[in-house]
Amino acid sequence: MTTERPAPEAYPGPAALAAHPTYAATAHIDDLRATEYRHLDRDGHVYLDYAGAGVAARSQIVAHHDRLLSGLFSNPHSENPTSVAADSLVESARRAVLDFFRADPAEYAVVFTPNASGACRLVGEAYAFGRARALVLTDDNHNSVNGIREYARAAGAPVRYVPLTGPHLRVAEADVVAALTGPGGLVGRARRWRGSGPRGLFAYPAQSNFSGVQHPLGWVELAQRHGYDVLLDAAAYVPTNRLDLGVVHPDFVCLSWYKLFGYPTGVGALVARREALARLRRPWFAGGTIRAVSVRGDWHRPLDDESGFEDGTLNFLSIPDVEFGVRWLDGIGVDLVHARVGLLTGWLLERLTALRHRTGQPLVEVYGPPTADGRGGTVAFNFRRPDGSLVDERLVAIDASAAGFSLRTGCFCNPGAGEGAFGITRRTLRRTPLAHVETIDQYLAALGVPTGGAVRVSFGLASTAGDAERFLAFAESTYLDRAGPASTRLAPRQRC
């Protein structure tokens, strides 16, 4: 989805941001911040980690409370009144999800999962990978998608990554086509795959959770023309962008609901085309996923609808909160949230990249697009000292926490984007001895890179001008023209 945004030079100064016409058009979000989200402003805290988790509105919590106290609900795998009541709410939530994504119920099914990672695992473990059925991924996938390669390799399938190009960390469409066609010659973009069955699985994020880059949704149809099923990781995209499954038709969509509206946690979804779902072959079965089973006869018959992918008892007390959440977000307006987040992102990028130390060195190095064009509300960067050296992201985490900011530091479970940002090439990795490397810090030392992570600020549904302005003031007062401590004892990096 494309929404018109102000030209870079049109972004106002800090004092005028809230009065800007584009910002004023999204004033309903400020009203919600003062009522439904007023807990965000307690104790002077500033929340800037919407890519990590959305925030819950007061009405969401009240609705959950009222529903549990006004009715009785039990395990849906029964036929008693409380079970039927729970099952009715779960099925209503499925319909609400399809409505939210404008998906045809005849084409798409909703499988409830613990999170987006669980949705990816369902596809990975059950997909028919093989020597002639490849897995193709972009470099900037989240680890929950990268992990699918283990299933592919175990089945002997080729695994091909599409590289990031340039400092903006985008992916060239020509490289996508080359990876889809694989070795042995090109297949023209206009030609459809005529082989028997799918050629493989193409997995990519609609929006990078590291850089905020938004990849073309048109790649879904492009990959399908080349014979691929498509897994679209929408976890970072759908909180602030409209995904219309009546227009674009990925075979699998993975997401976590807490990323959209904060609550409930522990519930995600695999939204899948029914035809693609029917081709998956699960490697095991569990309670709730089978029509019939025999121990002595050693046979089982799986359910042939979405229930066949929902292991055990669903989170039936929280899934109804998904319906409230999508209707809540729809009521606010995804386009309104998109416009607000786009303005704040463009404003912060323009202001941060304009800051210079007295030495002439830039205060920040941004990883990804330097403007709001073709990106979401996630901004990854590192601070630089007056001499040009990087401020360790772990030190920024300490400083930001002490100042009352919740943001993210590290590589955000996205090692491919991190390697692209820090210039770690495949050739470098091949030439560097890593046999005895056991920790992230040893890995970085072996590669000779100055840092292994970045600072990530992200905007979302309840973000305001005040959040952006306060972070800019923190950045200037803490790091501009400041050399920093001569030495600081920092905790070792634990994960990526």
Cβ neighbours, 10 Å, residue 160:
17
Nearest-angstrom CA–CA distance, 140 and 211: 9
Point out the catalytic residue in the list 254, 411, 413, 496: 413
| 17, 32, 116, 338, 369 from 376: Cα distances, Å | 19, 22, 19, 9, 10
Counts for the chain of helices (H) and strands (E), in that order = 18, 15
| Cα distance between residue 141 and residue 452, in whole Å | 17
Whether 228 and 251 have beta carbons less than 8 Å apart is answered as no
CB count in 10 Å sphere of residue 450: 10
Q: Which amino acid is at 204?
A: Y
Conformation bin of residue 412: beta by default, left when phi > 0, alpha when psi is -120 to 50: left
Asked if residue 228 lies in contact with residue 158, where contact means CB atoms within 8 angstroms, the answer is no
Where is 231: in which H helix or E strand? strand 228-233
The answer to whether 413 is a known catalytic residue is: yes
- Gap between the Cα atoms of 245 and 323, Å rounded: 18
SS (H, E, C) 255-311: EEHHHHHCCCCCCEEEEEEHHHHHHCCCCCCCCCCEEEEECCCCEEEECCCHHHHCC
- Is residue 366 within 8 A of residue 358, CB to CB? The reply is no
In angstroms, the Cα distances linking 130 to 134, 155, 198 are 7, 5, 11
Closest among 329, 328, 367 to 349, alpha carbons compared: 367
- Reading the block at residue 360, the tokens are 């002439």
Paired tokens of 258: 């807490």
* Cβ count within 10 A of residue 430: 8
Q: Is the peptide bond before 264 cis (omega within 30 degrees of 0)?
A: yes
How many Å is the Cα radius of gyration of the chain?
24
Instruction: Give the integer Cα–Cα distance in Å for 10 and 17.
Output: 10
Distance, in Å, from the CA atom of 483 to the CA atom of 333, rounded to the nearest integer, reads 44
Active-site annotation, residues? 413
